[in-house]
Amino acid sequence: MLRTELTEMLGIQHPIVQAGMGPWNTEALAVASANAGALGIVSTSGLAYKMSPPTALEKKEALASTSPYDLLRMTLDWVGERTAEAGGIFGVNIPLAQEFRELTESMIQATSDARNEHSDLADRLKVIVTAAGDPIPWTAPIKESGALWFHVAPSVKHALKGQMAGADVIIASGREGGGHVSFQPVHSMVLLPAVVSAVDLPVVAAGGFCDGGTLVSALAMGAIGVQMGTRFIATQESDFVQVWKDKILDADELGSVVGISVFGPARYLKNKVSLRLHELLNRGFEAGYEEGLDLEGKGIQLSMEGKDTDMTIFFGGEAAGRISEVPTVAELLRDVSSEAERVIERLPGCIASESP
């Protein structure tokens, strides 16, 4: 069994965070991940922007008339109930976009109230992950929630900002990763050790991690664990549609591309629309923004409906090229951790006992 500062801090079995992947919902994935001994993460942006009805909402047509606060509260109860028996540990992912300040506030409040009103949830809803925005204005409400604060940083500068805001853990997110990425490309192999040496906080690695070998590489570079997104999409229990999982299996290492997205660049699986978003980004973010936003909005809607067209948006990272199976979450976690153990056991053999 692996033991790191992450497993100790959270009381989980595997040093693995299942990434938040809004605006798609990840509640089924969070349940499976938490129950199998990883940190499960509920994505909140689809609930906040009302893009996707949560599983807990019995009448889907009630989406428009239910507040984002209530959507998240019912989702946290839903995940809490299904993870109670196994004692699963989970958290929420909340983007900090300045344009949606009020929604961010209500997502943090819902998490805080869920923890304060249910002692069982306070023990198991342990983490707020924030991303895609300035963390400084959010210190007070996040600290008041009592949850641990993990902040996603795509550069050393952003990591230092997270530390200054009072985050407990930094997630260093390299350019290989699926979904939103930084304007300036820094990949995990350089970003992770740079962040580890720049901050005085524990660091989780994200972007390109998908198996035991890559997990060990993160630990070797000073991380306490990894966050995986693309790898978790292609699991049996994941909330993502089958066609998305198939696209990940079909992709090779060149199967993703960075293009324009609403809050900056994002990494997509390659198809007609993402290649167009890539062209638009090359033209310049401002110049391509209007067309990009329109294409992304329509493409996300198509993916929510499970429609596989040239214009459907599928976020995904370079790691898609390394994924060839759709295991259950428990099988995935068991395989990643046991492969990591085998790699670690093999490594002492790299030290020569005597000079040649």
- Where on the chain is the footprint of ligand FMN (CB under 6 A)? 19-22, 24, 43, 45, 93, 95, 131, 152, 173, 176-180, 206-209, 227-231, 315-317, 319
Least separation in angstroms between residue 227's CB and ligand FMN is 5
Amino acid identity at 19: A
Least separation in angstroms between residue 171's CB and ligand FMN is 7
Report the alpha-carbon distance of residue 78 to residue 56 in Å, rounded.
6
Residue pair 91/41 in contact (Cβ under 8 Å)? The answer is yes
Least separation in angstroms between residue 57's CB and ligand FMN is 19
DSSP 115-155: HHH-HHHHHHEEEEEEESS--GGGHHHHHHHT-EEEEEESS
Least separation in angstroms between residue 152's CB and ligand FMN is 5
**Which pair of structure tokens corresponds to residue 149?**
């604060």
Nearest to 157 by CA among 189, 129, 183, 178: 183
Closer by beta carbon to ligand FMN, 117 or else 155: 155
Provide the residue count of the chain: 356
Least separation in angstroms between residue 356's CB and ligand FMN is 39
Closer by beta carbon to ligand FMN, 201 or else 228: 228
Please give the residue whose beta carbon sits closest to ligand FMN in the complex.
229
Closer by beta carbon to ligand FMN, 116 or else 184: 184
Report the alpha-carbon distance of residue 113 to residue 107 in Å, rounded.
10
Closer by beta carbon to ligand FMN, 85 or else 313: 313
Closer by beta carbon to ligand FMN, 217 or else 227: 227
Could you tell me the CA-to-CA distances from 297 to 75, 112, 293, 351 in Å, in that order?
A: 24, 30, 6, 53
Least separation in angstroms between residue 143's CB and ligand FMN is 20
Closer by beta carbon to ligand FMN, 254 or else 287: 254
